[in-house]
Structure 1
Amino acid sequence: MSTNVYVLLLNPAIACILASAMLIIWYHRPSAGAMRTAAIGLFAFAVAFVVQDIVPAMPYGLSNLFTNLAFLAAVTLICVAVIEMAGGKVPLLALGLTALATVCAILWWLYVDNDLTARIHVMNVSHSVMALVTLIATFRSGSPGWGRSLTIAVSILALINFSWRPLQVIWEGNFYADRNALHDSIYWNTTRLGSPILAVFAALSLLVGLAVVLIKELKLEARLDKLSGCLNRRGFEERSLHLLQAPDRPMLRLTMIVADIDRFKQINDTLGHATGDAVIRTFGRTLSDAMPFDAVVGRIGGEEFAVLLAGEGADRAYDITRSFQKDLSTALESQGLPPATASFGIYNCGYQDDLSTILSRADLALYEAKNDGRDAIRMHHPRLRTVRTRAKKASGS
């Protein structure tokens, strides 16, 4: 095999390697559909390069037709993958109509009025339109971050690349008599260099975008309590501090609810930890469902939960908590779990209160609910501001 063939195989080899890596990622992470789409597009690139440069010419212009359609499919699929990775809505109608118009034009300039230069213009204009559609879709995605920035950069580079090519053809005389004349042109050499570089850059941007998504998910998992589905203590404190330190904090009404499952230790000791875990899971998910969408809900201890309500006063918090008590009873019964109750403390946050003070005062109200017989809701009031510790919580919780 000659050195020239090895050089010609370089582009499809790079495309296949990147496509294989993306398929492996997609296999282990099926939710990353953009990886699968991009992999198919890169395989189409590889096939197009092989048919164009290595496979002997087929009769009736089939080689040209197959190559053009393969490149068109590759660009379309990679555009779709880029938009998906940016979190945008794929404009299937715009991309589909562009692809259909391109196919019709290719067939015309191949079988009706055979014109190589016209087909080059058709392909470049088509790819420019797709790059522009991709750029608009990524701008509209509205999901800031490195992933979106990279996909926008790829779209801009693709738009510049494909828009420049027709101008280069015109500059060279706007006519190629045959494929030999095309292969000897500056346009051909720059295109062969630019296409794989652009494809590699697009693939790498998708991989970086996926890495950014994975990092965000890992950060989110580090702040979630997997058993209850609520934030863990770290996540709850971070989200709560964000609200407490917001610029509009003086105008924002905040209310803290602290909840503790009654006699939870007895459930664990008599029915087993599996049942206890099921109660925690049901409690956490029912609590999240019962609260407003912007509430900060967290599991801050073994059987202790906290909710920070924004824009709600203590009276509204009381009504929400009462409703949750009924929802909890229904949820436990529907899942065949033992009946369980909880005690609640509510504190209407002051403008100058820090998180520690807020939790302490909500805890004081919770202790009163425990001491009053459990399965109760108590509001914080000034006479509760006595020095207490968690060690004084009612025995057995």
Structure 2
Amino acid sequence: MPGSLFILLLNPGISLLLALAFYLLWHGRRDHGYVLVAAAGHLATALGFLVQDVMPPLPLELQRIPSNALFLLAGVLLMGSLLGHYRLPVPWRSFSVMGGLGLAALSYFLLVQPDLNYRIFSISFALAAIAFLTVFELRRTGRVNLVDRLLLWACILTGTNFLIRPIAIIWMEGGYTDYVGFQQSLYWTTVQFSQSLVSIILALCLMIAIAQDLIFQLQTDARTDTLSGVLNRRGFEDVATALLARHEAPLALLLADLDHFKQINDHHGHMAGDAVISGFGRILLDMAPAGAVKGRIGGEEFALLVPVPTPETALALAGALRERMATPLDASIPHTTVSIGVTMAGPGDRLDSLLQRADKALYRAKRAGRNRVSLHRPTPRQEAAC
């Protein structure tokens, strides 16, 4: 293969491979639509280079219009996919205006007042504007981990490439008058290699971000109880232990057990029992204050580790949970109540000792007739039921 043909096929080849990679990623996780948008962006890039550099030229270089339209579409789709990754609203209208102005300027300097240099500036500046608008939107995420910074800097690199490179090279070379010998020019060479480099950097950064999100989702799924929506026992123990280790303010542990749950399963079936579990999980998610750790640690047993200033505050929260559960959840869900044991965390308390104390208070609430809240105190005589 001649060297010039290899260079001509370099960008479309890379872009087609990236399009295939993102399509396969999307095919495995179709709920991530932005991945398919990224695949479409790289496909548009490949088609743009094929139309511009490989297909036979048209009269008046008219192939430059569809090829650059594809480049602008690719820029819009690729930047949109980055914003979609963060679930940010994509400014499609602004992107379209920028792309439309760039294509209109290119058409003017191709058909009305031919000027190759201005054609280069028209498309390059439009792509730079799209990239820098994306940078502005990404800064609003507030996320500052390494992968997020890589994506942000990849966008900055993309915009800078389209803004500075054409100005610098055209100034160095004194400009271009026509396409004769253009494929041997410094500008054409830098387009070929800088575009492949930018495409690979953007794609790798986005793939790393997707992989990071997938790992986080797997970790979340591994410690989340899918029925109730709160943490499972392992997840609760991990997060609660970490909170106990770092939290200096008072903490309370609430241990809740659904009353007569076995009878619900026996008389109404396990689907009804599952509905009750799910309903109480929603109550915890709705009523637990910020910073609380919520978990289902047994069949019908739930735990809540929550920052509270006083035991009275903990009792008030437990009482509110009990009263909410005492109200029927739904006409289709069997009604039941909840008993709750409460204990306060002292200096150096471990989670297992808190669970033991809360379990004693819970046992007292059950023994007192269920649908009760009981607070564990240092001595049995100080333990109160309400």
Q: Deviations over 1:277-311 (max 9, x none)?
A: 22222222222222224321101122110111224
For structure 1, which runs of at least 5 residues remain unmatched after alignment?
A: 387-397
When residues 331 and 179 of structure 1 are mapped into structure 2, their CA distance, relative to the original with a 3 A threshold, is farther
Q: CA deviation at 1:86?
A: 4.5
Residues 312-361 of structure 1 show CA distances to partners (whole Å, capped at 9, x for unaligned) of 53323333333333433445443x23222221111232244232222222
Q: Which of these residues, 298, 301, 305, is aligned with residue 298 of structure 2? A: 301
- Where do 1:127-276 residues align within 5 Å? 127-162=127-162, 163-173=164-174, 175-246=175-246, 249-250=247-248, 252-276=249-273
Are the equivalent residues in 2 in contact too, given 1:364–1:385 (CA < 8 A)? no
For the aligned residue pairs, the C-alpha RMSD in angstroms reads 2.5
| Counterpart-to-counterpart distance in 2, 1:385 and 1:154 | 65
Q: Deviations over 1:79-111 (max 9, x none)?
A: 121233255553445534432331232222122
Aligned partners of 1:313 and 1:68: how far apart in 2? 67
Match of 1:318 in 2: 315
Structure 2 residue 278 is matched with structure 1 residue 281: yes
Shift of 1:186: 1.3
- In structure 2, the residue corresponding to 1:346 is in which secondary structure? strand
Q: 1:86–1:337: structure 2 CA closer, same or farther, 3 Å change rule?
A: closer
Aligned residues: 381
For 1:126, the equivalent position in structure 2 comes to: 126
2:380 corresponds in structure 1 to 384
What is aligned with 1:368?
364
CA contact (8 A) 2:322 2:339 kept: no
Query: Using a 3 Å threshold, how does the CA distance of structure 1 residues 310 and 85 change in structure 2: closer, same or farther?
Result: same
User: What is the DSSP-based 3-state SS (H/G/I as helix, E as strand, rest coil) of the residue aligned with 1:226?
Assistant: coil
How far the C-alpha of 1:378 sits from its partner, in A, is 0.8
| TM-fit CA distance, 1:362 | 1.6
**2:352 alignment partner, one of 343, 353, 356:** 356
Say if 1:223 and 1:259 are closer, same or farther in 2 by CA, change over 3 A. same
Pair 117,242 (structure 1): closer, same or farther in 2 beyond 3 Å:
same
User: Measured at CA, do residues 285 and 178 of structure 1 come closer, stay the same or move farther in structure 2, by a change above 3 Å?
Assistant: same
How far residue 236 of structure 1 moved from its aligned partner, in angstroms, is 1.4
Moved more, 150-159 or 296-305: 150-159
Q: Is the Cα contact below 8 Å between 1:85 and 1:147 reproduced in 2?
A: no
For the residue of structure 1 that corresponds to 2:155, the secondary structure is helix
Q: How does 1:56-135 map to 2 (within 5 A)?
A: 56-86=56-86, 88-92=88-92, 94-135=94-135
Bigger shift: residues 281-290 or 207-216:
281-290
Deviation string, structure 1 residues 50-70 (Cα, Å, up to 9, x no partner): 111122222354311111211
Question: Which residue type is aligned with residue 345 of structure 1?
Answer: G
Other-structure match for 2:333? 337
User: Deviation at 1:12?
Assistant: 1.7
What are the superposed Cα offsets for residues 244-292 of structure 1, whole Å, 9 maximum, x if unpaired?
223xx33x23221110112323333444333322222222222222222
**1:279–1:65 Cα change, 3 Å:** same
- How far residue 385 of structure 1 moved from its aligned partner, in angstroms, is 9.1
Report if the CA contact (8 A) 1:253-1:349 is conserved: yes
Give the letter aligned to residue 322 of structure 1. G
Deviation (angstroms), 1:115: 0.5
Contact 1:229/1:285 (8 A) holds in 2: yes
What is the identity, as a one-letter code, of the residue corresponding to 2:362? L
Q: Unpaired runs of 5+ in structure 2?
A: none
1:14 and 2:11 equivalent?
A: no
The question of whether the paired residues in 1 share the 8 Å contact of 2:11 and 2:195 is answered with no
Distance in 2 between residues matched to 1:160 and 1:43, nearest whole Å? 23
- 1:45–1:72 CA distance, 2 compared to 1 (3 A): same
Say whether the 8 Å CA contact 2:7–2:192 is kept in structure 1: no
Q: Any conservation in 2 of the 1:257–1:362 contact (CA below 8 Å)?
A: yes
| Residue identity matched to 2:168 | L
**Structure 1 residue 172: deviation in Å?**
0.8
Q: Distance in 2 between matches of 1:305 and 1:347?
A: 14
Q: Give the drift of 1:134.
A: 2.4
SS at match of 2:340: strand
Equivalent residue of 1:309, what SS?
strand
Identity %: 36
Cα distance in 2 between the residues matched to 1:34 and 1:180: 40
TM-score in terms of structure 1 length: 0.87
Give the SS at the match of 1:373: coil
Distance 1:312 1:69 in 2: 62
